[in-house]
């Protein structure tokens, strides 16, 4: 059963080496992510499952120790999803899970074994819910680290340009994530999320499926839209 969850954004810019001179702009987001991971660790899960958006080749399960890299962003920096050096892996972490691995390494995570799950944007809500239910049933005490961004259409300079629907969508998603409102997360519109370039919709709905039978309280730790992209950090416990 799900005993705690942390919700974090997944831009590679969270990693200071990638952000370079702009790194201080996300200091508050990094601090909030650390606080959310502290809530996860305090819940003493028997297993931590990290869920994040992924393209076709990054979907599916990623065992503990799976390597990731930020070399594609011009930085000579490698990470692993928990310990596992020396083991052969047939795939690398998608960017969202590489950011998660960096956050976990930065926080010194040692509270539980780790597994990764990459989910694709086209995944229907029903399949997301079912994936979440399966995650929640893995062990008696499951923790979730859920990676994903809100709309990339919040400003004129945003990656997706300005869309007037972006702010209301992000406001409702932020409210749901900050209050552990499972029904509201389930109700997020898949097509609208796609149009607004929301990377977090599928991971958030996996969280909703995992939390169906859990009685958790949410706390909003951070919300902003630097660079025109919605970022949210929340903790459920």
Q: Report yes or no: 144 and 135 within 8 Å, Cβ to Cβ.
A: yes
Tell me the Ramachandran region of residue 193: left when phi exceeds 0, alpha when psi lies from -120 to 50, beta otherwise: alpha
State the Cα–Cα distance between residues 50 and 146, nearest whole angstrom: 6
User: CATH assignment of 2-236?
Assistant: 3.40.830.10
What's the confidence (pLDDT) of residue 87? Answer: 64
What's the confidence (pLDDT) of residue 90? Answer: 74
Q: Mean per-residue pLDDT for 74-86?
A: 87
- Sequence ranges of the domains in the chain: 2-236
Residue 68 pLDDT exceeds 90: yes
Residue 57 pLDDT exceeds 80: no
pLDDT digits (tens, 9 = 90+) for 102-114: 999 999 999 999 9
pLDDT digits (tens, 9 = 90+) for 3-28: 999 999 999 999 999 999 888 999 99
Q: Note if the pTM is more than 0.75.
A: yes
State the Cα–Cα distance between residues 6 and 178, nearest whole angstrom: 10
Residue 88 pLDDT exceeds 70: no
Task: Give the pLDDT band of residue 85 (cuts 50, 70, 90).
Answer: low
pLDDT digits (tens, 9 = 90+) for 180-233: 999 999 999 999 999 999 999 999 999 999 999 999 999 999 999 999 999 999
pLDDT digits (tens, 9 = 90+) for 104-157: 999 999 999 999 999 999 999 999 999 999 999 999 999 999 999 999 999 999
């Amino acid at each position: 059963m799900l005993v705690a969850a942390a919700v974090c954004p997944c831009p590679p810019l969270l990693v200071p080496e990638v952000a370079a001179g702009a790194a201080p702009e996300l200091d508050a987001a990094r601090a909030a992510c650390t606080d959310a991971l502290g809530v996860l660790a305090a819940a003493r899960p028997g297993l931590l499952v990290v869920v994040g958006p992924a393209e076709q080749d990054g979907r599916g399960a990623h065992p503990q120790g799976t390597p990731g890299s930020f070399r594609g962003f011009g930085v000579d920096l490698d990470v692993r999803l928990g310990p596992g050096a020396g083991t052969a892996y047939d795939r690398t972490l998608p960017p969202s899970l590489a950011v998660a691995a960096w956050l976990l390494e930065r926080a010194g995570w040692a509270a539980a074994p780790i597994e990764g799950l990459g989910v694709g944007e086209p995944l229907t809500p029903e399949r997301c819910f079912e994936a979440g239910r399966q995650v929640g049933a893995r062990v008696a005490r499951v923790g979730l680290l859920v990676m994903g961004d809100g709309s990339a259409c919040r400003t004129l300079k945003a990656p997706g340009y300005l869309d007037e629907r972006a702010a209301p969508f992000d406001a409702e998603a932020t409210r749901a994530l900050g209050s552990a409102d499972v029904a509201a997360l389930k109700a997020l519109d898949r097509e609208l999320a796609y149009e607004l370039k929301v990377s977090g919709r599928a991971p958030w709905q996996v969280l909703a499926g995992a939390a169906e039978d859990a009685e958790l309280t949410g706390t909003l730790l951070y919300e902003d839209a630097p660079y025109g992209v919605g970022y949210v950090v929340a903790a459920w416990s």
